[in-house]
Structure 1
Amino acid sequence: MSFLSRIMLLKSQAHFSTDVQRGGAVVAGPRIQGTAKRKSAMAKNRVGLMIAGFCVVYAIIGGRLVQYGQAQPETVSSILPADRLMASRPDILDRNGEVLATDIRTVSLFAEPHKIVDPDEAVERLATVLTDLDIKGTYKKLSSKSRFQWLRRQLTPKQQSQILALGIPGIGFRPEKRRFYPGGSTASHIVGYVNIDNRGMTGMEKYIDNQGLADLRALGMTSDTPLEPVKLSIDIRVQNIVRDVLVDAMAKFKSIGAGGVVLDAHTGEVIAMASLPDFDPNNPAGSEEGWLSRMANGTFEMGSTFKSFTIAMGLDSGKVSLKDSFDARYPIRIGGFTIKDFHGKNRILTVPEIFQYSSNIGTAKVADLVGTDAHKEFLTRLGLLTKMQTELPEVAMPSQPREWKKINSITISFGHGVSTTPLQTAVAGVALVNGGKLIEPTFLPRTREQADLVAKQVIKPSTSDDMRFLFEWNGIKGSGKNARVEGFDVGGKTGTADKVVNGRYVGDKNFNAFLAAFPIDNPRYVVLTFIDEPKTDKGNGAALAGNSAAPMVGEIIRRSAAILGVEPKFGEDGSALLVSY
């Protein structure tokens, strides 16, 4: 037996020996655990570890089940949670709390192309629900190597349910907020609209973003918590009336545009403002012509409505009084131009008659008496030559001659040579009848006390008294007769302006406007309407402002005066009552 074999034999015997004799004495040796016992212990340890592992796994599963049971439905695997870009926007309300714009919950469809098993099949199945699906474009997205692709934004609940039933792997939904406008086009140019990512693009929607909402969103500090509503000065009932009147007028006169505004004469609040064509903010892409707000973002020569400001300038300067007269028998020739009256009386006219007959000659002589520099200063003081300040982002800058000469002052006196926005003209008109205070317009609620803090005295109260007299005079005896409403003493001034085409004034295309106030003895509201290029059976230029724009004002007042809280007055002293049996 070799040495190595003996060593192996002794090691094997050592497993079963419990004593070793050393020098004749018995010594207790180390007890070595047997193989069977050691295997049993290892088995027990493994079973214990398996039990512990199963307990942990079931605990995790149970915890997740509880979590899913308490979670919102959209957090399931196919519908991801909304990101902060879809944070809530505040509701927009009218002055009475009626909703003009609000958020509604919706979902958008997306794909994770790396999880798509068969792009062809996925496209075919999606097309059964989304019948207008771009087949080639969608297939390209699903076949790409990207990990995320939008397929359709803002689905209807029915579409979502049908797509879920298809059970396509790699297709999911993301909760989003969609802006909804219950009134549709009724106040579109005021309220504005948002883009697909719920960001304000125009109107008060953009104004809200500019007040800090967009900055908070960019910093990730917004959430889906409902925000405090934004209340406007608009009365949706009056707004609907104004737009309805404009729609009827456009159809009647086959015009290319129309507009109207109702202003509170003491607070500057815009109660209603509409411009046609308009658009539906629920589907802004569906309109091609309605983007321009002609009331605030369009500039026009306002024609003879400007004679109101020229006469007011003369009265306020002290160089003209209501008792003065001007010779309107002969045309004015200046700078190669001849200025004459449309329906000339060929006689000397008093100031009220100049206003009543809308005399270009008489108005030009008033402006000449005051002077060119003073004329420019007066119109600037009334805010007609500078950009109007208000909440709407879409506000146009007026245009005026680079250098004012005498010929410019004379033509501007009767409304040619300066282009302003209709809203701007109405705001300046407010100052003529409210005691001489220019109040910048607002689309937000404002009290009379708050208005007094921002108001500027631009003309004398006595001048305002005289202008109210002239407005009423013209309403009774002049071109404003068609705007009169029984019981509501409407006064105002018409304006029929020839439009400029290729640098020349043309007589068959008019811009007609009417500036009015009521009740004229103590005006509470100023109303301005216009109609662009009205047409009649007698020709395109036959529809004058007295027959087109003035009746529009009358209809607006007739239908909205009661809503605005203006009580009618009947009889000579206003004390008579209208009794119906």
Structure 2
Amino acid sequence: MSFLSRIMVLKSRAHFSAGGRGRPTMRGASFEGTRKRKSAQAKNRVGLLIAGFVAFYGVIGGRLVQYGFAMPEVTSSILPADRFMASRPDIVDRNGEVLATDIRTVSLFAEPHKIVDADEVIEKLATVLNDLDVKGTYTKLRSNSHFQWLRRQLTPKQQSQILALGIPGIGFRPEKRRFYPGGRTAAHLVGYVNIDNRGVAGMERYIDSQGLADLAAVGMTSDQPLEPVKLSIDLRVQAIVQQVVAESIGKYSAIGAGAVVIDVHTGEILGMASAPDFDPNDPNGVDAEKGWMNRMSNSTFEMGSTFKSFTLAMGLDDGKMNLQSSFDARFPIRIGGFTIKDFHGKGRVLSVPEIFQYSSNIGTAKIADMVGIAGHKDFLTRLGLLSRMKTELPEIAMPSQPREWKKINSITISFGHGVSTTPLQTAVAGAALVNGGKLVPPTFLPRTQAQADEIATQVMKPTTSKDMRFLFEWNGINGSGRNARVAGFNVGGKTGTADKVVNGRYAHDKNFNAFLSAFPMDNPRYVVLSFSDEPKTDKGNGAALAAMSAAPMVKEIIARSAPILGVKPKFGNDGSALLVSY
């Protein structure tokens, strides 16, 4: 650059510098305003950005809270993966024998969105699963879902055969299945579970109601073994009771039957069965629908002359009569258009033991009339025969009684017509007749004598219980209980043959037969009650009596189970003789 050019540049710079110094205030203010506007805009943009992030994550947080409080939805019966292997506790009898346990299994599922040819998949699966629902399976495979159950709880053989088919889009999920080693042996007691291993009936349902179902619902159960639940029943006694009851259906051509063995001092159920029954391993089997009903605890019946036991106990406990009292049973009683007469009428004055022995309706009715309606109702209420029984088993029916008790009601109820109760609660009340007059709530769980004493209720005088033991033994030796006698075990009791109500009227050709017994009568330890619903004779006229159907059931149960229960036989007048076989 030449000298002249440098001079021109310097002048130019001087000119601009002089001009800038001439307007300093205006240009400075303009620059400061621009800077503030840009700063404010930047702050606004940052604020909007922050607000946007807060709103976005606020919505996400709100939805998370909403999902946390929302009830879980069930889709295609699919449980969370960590719940497929959730454990249920084993159920064992009082001696530790397994009644119910979990076994590992797998279930077959499909991912329809991965299925290319549904027809081919069905064709292959049908070669292993012979009873495959083709139409239903095709619908599942052609759906747009990502998961569908195809078959729950496969056998190991079925799993290996399906794996060998090499079908894409299907898989297996491990889970647990409930297994009942005894099958039908204790079906109504133990109950069963559904396909998702949740209790549906019996003690399985009771276990869930005690908190297991709630823990499973929130995923707090795991694949760890739980402490077994021990029941009061003795599997050996249970097997005997179940076999006798099941065989009685065919033996007497009955529509139903049942029996129970109860410890009179603790209230523990040692064995109880109802027939028809079902296999809990296959609760939806062909014959399951007829066997679901537990007739022992969930059905009510007019118990017939077994109720005379309670009527005589009421009269003795009231103090208006004793074993030496007598009542005129010569003439029928006519009341309210009905005639009360005896089936085995003697046409004479009967003592109290004779009223029990001959099962006199007339004598029993006069005892009830002597006590009065209010006293009669109060006594049955104390024995628990008019209210719903409380125990662990969920299937418990509510007894029925007249809305208003009149004299005719009290008279008919005295010999077992007009009030319907469950056979189980009749047996429980029967235990109070022979154990010293204490009503002990029944239980299907182990209970000690001390625990039973804490909850027992004194419902009658000990002297009344002593008199009833005499009457039971008297009838066992001289009356209708003879067919239940077992040598060495001193069995006593009372039969009951009741006409069933059909279409609002009593049908004389349809009977409900029951036998309430206890043994050994010198020191009763167990009550055994059996019943046969509509038993028939060879003539098929339904004229079979309780002495010919229900009593023999008790005899067989006691003969086979008494040694197992530790009851020692006694022979001879003083019980010191021994039975020797050579």
Q: Deviations over 1:474-524 (max 9, x none)?
A: 000000000000000000000000001111111110000000000001101
8 A contact 1:297–1:396 mirrored in 2: yes
Q: SS in structure 2 opposite 1:186?
A: helix
- TM-score using structure 1 length: 0.85
Deviations 1:185-213 (A, max 9, x none): 11100000000000000000000000000
Matched, 1:432 2:433: yes
Give 2:407's aligned residue.
Answer: 406
Spell out, residue by residue over 1:150-176, the C-alpha distance to the aligned partner (whole angstroms, 9 max, x if none). Answer: 000000000101111111111100001
Distance 1:93 1:572 in 2: 41
1:201 corresponds to: 200
Tell me how far apart the structure 2 counterparts of residues 380 and 145 of structure 1 sit (CA, whole Å). Answer: 61
For 2:445, the equivalent position in structure 1 comes to 444
Structure 2 residue aligned with 1:190: 189
Q: Give, in whole Å, the separation in 2 of the partners of 1:323 and 1:390.
A: 38
1:174 paired to 2:173? yes
Amino acid at match of 1:201: V
Q: What secondary structure is seen at the aligned counterpart in 2 of 1:551?
A: helix
Matched to 1:419, the amino acid is S
* Distance change >3 Å, CA 572–CA 222, structure 1 → 2: same
Name the SS for the 1:417 alignment partner.
coil
- Is the contact between residue 263 and residue 525 of structure 1 (CA under 8 Å) also seen in structure 2? yes
Q: State the partner residue of 1:10.
A: none
Match of 2:493, SS state, is strand
Give 3-state SS (helix, strand or coil) of 1:217's partner.
Answer: helix
Please tell me the residue identity of whatever aligns with 2:174: P
Rounded to whole Å, the distance in 2 between the matches of 1:238 and 1:83 is 39
Which stretch shifts more, 434-443 or 128-137? 128-137
Structure 2: how far apart are the matches of 1:354 and 1:139?
Answer: 71
2:261 is aligned with 1:258: no
Alpha-carbon distance in 2 for matches of 1:83, 1:224: 9
* Pairwise CA distance, 1:218: 1.2
Corresponding residue for residue 275 of structure 1: 274
Equivalent residue number for residue 491 of structure 1: 492
Q: Secondary structure at the match of 2:192?
A: coil
Partner of 2:89: 90
Shift in Å, 1:564: 0.5
Paired residues of 2:323 and 2:352 also in contact (CA < 8 A) = yes
For 2:125 and 2:238, how far apart are their aligned partners in 1? 42
Alignment of 1:109-148 (within 5 A): 109-148=108-147
1:217-255 per-position Cα deviation (integer Å, ceiling 9, x unaligned): 111211111100000001111111111111222111100
Please report how far the alpha carbon of residue 85 of structure 1 lies from its aligned counterpart in structure 2 after TM superposition. Answer: 4.7
Helix, strand or coil at the partner of 2:365: helix
Aligned residue in 1 for 2:346: 345
Tell me the SS of whatever aligns to 1:361. helix
The reply on whether 1:293 has 2:294 as its aligned counterpart is yes
Q: Return the alpha-carbon distance in structure 1 between the equivalents of residues 503 and 120 of structure 2.
A: 59
Percent identity for Structure 1 against Structure 2: 80
Matches within 5 A, 1:322-333: 322-333=323-334
8 Å CA contact 1:88–1:227 kept in 2: the answer is: yes
Q: Which runs of 5+ in 2 are unaligned?
A: 1-78
User: In the superposition, relative to structure 1, how do residues 81 and 328 fare at CA in structure 2: closer, same or farther (>3 Å)?
Assistant: closer
Q: Is the 8 A contact 2:82 2:219 kept in 1?
A: no
Verify: 1:164 aligned to 2:163, yes or no: yes
Q: Which residue of 2 aligns with 1:237?
A: 236
Q: Which amino acid aligns with 1:162?
A: Q
Judge conservation of contact 1:82–1:175 (CA < 8 Å) in 2: no
Match of 2:385 in 1: 384
- The change in CA–CA distance for 1:341 and 1:335 in structure 2 (over 3 A counts) is same
Match of 1:15 in 2: none
CA distance in 2, matches of 1:81, 1:368: 65
Once residues 81 and 169 of structure 1 are traced to their aligned partners in structure 2, the CA distance between those partners, rounded to angstroms, is: 23
Supply the distance in 2 between the matched residues of 1:400 and 1:213 (Cα, whole angstroms): 37
Q: CA deviation at 1:550?
A: 0.6
Aligned residue type for 1:148: F
The offset of 1:539, in angstroms, is: 4.0
Code of the residue aligned with 1:371 in structure 2: it is: G
- Cα distance per residue 1:372-409 (max 9 Å; x no partner): 00000000000000000000000000000000011100
Q: 1:89 to 1:327 in 2, by over 3 A?
A: same
Query: Mean Cα displacement is larger for which, 131-140 or 404-413?
Result: 131-140
CA distance in 2, matches of 1:564, 1:319: 38
Deviation per residue, 1:53-111 (Å, 9 max, x gap): xxxxxxxxxxxxxxxxxxxxxxxxxxx99431541000000111111000000000001
Shifted more, 306-315 versus 168-177: the winner is 168-177
Specify the code of the residue in structure 1 equivalent to 2:272.
Answer: M
Which stretch shifts more, 218-227 or 129-138?
129-138
Report deviation, 1:131.
1.7
> Given that residues 85 and 217 in structure 1 are in contact (C-alpha distance below 8 angstroms), is that contact kept between their aligned partners in structure 2?
no
Question: Quick check: 121-130 or 550-559, which moved more?
Answer: 121-130
Q: Aligned partners of 1:106, 1:339: CA distance in 2, in Å?
A: 63
Pairing 1:338-377 to 2, within 5 Å after superposition: 338-377=339-378
* TM-score of the aligned structures, taking structure 2 as reference length: 0.85
Structure 1: how far apart are the matches of 2:119 and 2:204?
A: 41
TM-superposed deviation, 1:450: 0.7
Match of 2:462 in 1: 461
Tell me the alpha carbon deviations over residues 101-150 of structure 1, each in whole angstroms, 9 at most, x when there is no partner. Answer: 00000000001111122222222111111122122221221121110010
Quote the residue 1:559 is aligned against: 560
C-alpha displacement of 1:542: 2.1
- SS in structure 1 opposite 2:327? strand
Pairwise CA distance, 1:540: 2.5
Q: Does 1:211 align with 2:222?
A: no
Looking at structure 2, the residues matched to 455 and 134 of structure 1 have their Cα atoms a distance apart, in angstroms, of: 55
Which deviates the most, 81-90 or 212-221? Answer: 81-90
Runs of 4+ in 1 over 6 A off after TM superposition: none
Report how many aligned residue pairs link the two structures: 502
Superimposed CA distance per residue, residues 19-55 of structure 1 (whole angstroms, 9 cap, x where no aligned partner): xxxxxxxxxxxxxxxxxxxxxxxxxxxxxxxxxxxxx
What is the rounded CA distance, in whole Å, between the counterparts of 1:428 and 1:137 in structure 2?
52
Root mean square deviation of aligned Cα = 1.1
For each residue in 1:391-428, what CA deviation from the matched residue of structure 2 results, as whole angstroms up to 9, or x when unmatched? 00000000000000111000000000000000000000
How far apart are the structure 1 equivalents of 2:463 and 2:159? 67
Secondary structure (helix, strand or coil) at the match of 2:125 reads helix
Matched, 1:578 2:579: yes
Q: Secondary structure at the match of 2:289?
A: coil
Unaligned stretches of 5+ residues in structure 1: 1-79
The residue type equivalent to 2:223 in the other structure is: D
